[in-house]
């Protein structure tokens, strides 16, 4: 399993763009990169997944360099409601069912 | 849209008692995952099931067991409860989908308190 490393915490202000980087040096060829968001006392919620280059959906963008050893989640114009813990996961649920969370990044958005 | 349903939402047990947590996955999802999350901690993967068979095992104590039934619902059985078992227990489900291959859906969790 590829281990992931993320910053423990980040602070931002409303309206700013936030970029959270995750390192996964041992990512396997078949692995995808996925980000989840978790609010206190709630289950994690899927944000975005990607394999390479750039992926964008209605809430975030995911940038993955060619070597795939890291990835960056980009949240445009954050609001107070984006205050949460963000987790980067590496794996492939199509071929195995081992979905482990590492230490996430606690994002605090200030007014 | 249907979501993952967990029951009960809250459970209080005494030390050395047993507890059973239930999880009803989203219809047509064939994979179920169980997680334990202590206060201020990250979710810890316990165990997963695919098509009613145990698939992967994480840090699940020997006092815990789980299974997935023919209707795909899953139960986590916990015996000889300890104070340290107090936590939020999440269940998640996912379809085996080539496109949405890493997307899992989580329930609202069961808060277990052992006193």
- Give residue B62's pLDDT: 96
User: Is-contact B108 B10, C-beta < 8 A?
Assistant: no
Contact B92 A99 (CB under 8 A): yes
Distance from C-alpha of A71 to C-alpha of A23, rounded to nearest angstrom = 7
CB-nearest to A93 from B42, B44, B101 is: B101
Q: What is the DSSP string of A85-108?
A: EEEEEEE-TTT---------EEEE
Contact B104/A32, CB-based, under 8 Å? Answer: no
Cα of first residue to Cα of last residue in chain A, in angstroms, is 38
Q: How many Å apart are CA B39 and CA A80, to the nearest integer?
A: 22
pLDDT on residue B97: 75
CA dihedral B69, A95, B101, A66 (to 10 degrees): 160
pLDDT in tens, chain B (115 residues): 689 999 999 999 999 999 999 999 999 898 999 999 999 999 999 999 998 999 999 989 999 999 999 999 999 999 999 999 999 999 999 987 767 667 899 999 999 999 9
Contact between chains at A97 and B55 (C-beta distance less than 8 A): yes
Q: How far is CA B54 from CA A17, A77, A98, B33, B34, in A?
A: 42, 42, 11, 10, 11
Give how far the C-alpha of residue B111 lies from the chain's centroid of Cα atoms, to the nearest Å: 11
State the pLDDT at residue B98: 67
Q: What is the largest CA-CA distance in chain B?
A: 44
Q: Cβ of A101 and B100 within 8 Å? A: no
Average pLDDT over residues A55-71: 96
Q: CA of B107, closest CA in chain A: separation in Å? A: 6
Task: Provide the token pair at A6.
Answer: 């993320």
- Show the DSSP H helices in chain A as ranges: none
Name which of B49, B50, B106 is nearest A43 (Cβ-Cβ).
B106
Please check the confidence at residue A92 and state whether its pLDDT lies above 90.
no
A97 vs B101: CB contact, 8 Å cut-off? no
Q: Which of B97, B100, B107 sits opposite A43 (nearest CB)?
A: B107
């Amino acid at each position: 399993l590829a281990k992931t490393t993320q910053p423990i915490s980040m602070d931002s202000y409303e309206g700013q763009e936030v970029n959270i980087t995750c390192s996964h040096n041992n990512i396997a060829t078949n692995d995808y990169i996925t980000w989840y968001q978790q609010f206190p006392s709630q289950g994690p919620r899927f944000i975005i997944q990607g394999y390479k280059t750039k992926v964008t959906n209605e809430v975030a963008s995911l940038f993955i360099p060619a070597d795939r050893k890291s990835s960056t989640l980009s949240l445009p114009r954050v609001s107070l409601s984006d205050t949460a813990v963000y987790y980067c996961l590496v794996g492939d649920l199509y071929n195995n069912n081992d979905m482990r969370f590492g230490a996430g990044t606690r994002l605090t958005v200030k007014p | 849209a249907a979501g993952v349903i967990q029951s009960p939402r809250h459970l209080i047990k005494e030390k050395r008692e047993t507890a059973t947590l239930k999880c009803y996955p989203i219809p047509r999802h064939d994979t179920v995952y169980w997680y334990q999350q202590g206060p201020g901690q990250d979710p810890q993967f316990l165990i997963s099931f695919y098509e009613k068979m145990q698939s992967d095992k994480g840090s699940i104590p020997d006092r815990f067991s789980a299974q997935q039934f023919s209707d795909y619902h899953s139960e986590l059985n916990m015996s000889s409860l300890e104070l340290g078992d107090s936590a939020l227990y999440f269940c998640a489900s996912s379809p085996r989908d080539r496109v949405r291959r890493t997307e899992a859906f989580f329930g609202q969790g069961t808060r277990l308190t052992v006193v």
